[in-house]
Amino acid sequence: MGFVYVARSASLSNWGSDVGLGKHLFKLGYTDDSAEAAVKDLVATVHAGAPDWVLVRKEAAEGVDEAQLLARLGRKEKMLEPALYPRLKGAGDIVKVKLVNGEHHRLLKQAYGNEALKVTKLRDPDIAAYLIANALG
């Protein structure tokens, strides 16, 4: 059994904010091992030039690969092009999230679940749940 996971780096978010991309940058990935081990690998290899990756959320998934997940998510959110940003060092799996899309997703989920609609500020786990839901289709 594999896992789809979302990780976040504070230094990459600060860089994104400084260059005008916004601070909501996340890495979506898939691993056949544990998600915690995958994030440790990100830290060890200084993925996208960031040494401080933290696991935000993970979900079990079968029969998918990372390329499929990124292609599905790329229809909804902007995937950063590593050729345009040398800081990414070839990492094509970094996602720039529009908070409006995440808020819309959460409100629709509440409405379809017959829950009371609550408008609150999105947190990282909420954004990660949105990314995983869209990546899995």
pTM for the complete prediction? Answer: 0.89
pLDDT at 125: 93
In this prediction, the residues of the chain whose per-residue pLDDT falls under 70 are: none
Phi-psi region of 59 (alpha: psi -120 to 50; beta: other; left: phi over 0): beta
pLDDT at 119: 75
Q: Max Cα separation, the chain?
A: 46
pLDDT at 108: 82
124-136 and 99-112 helices, crossing angle to 10° = 80
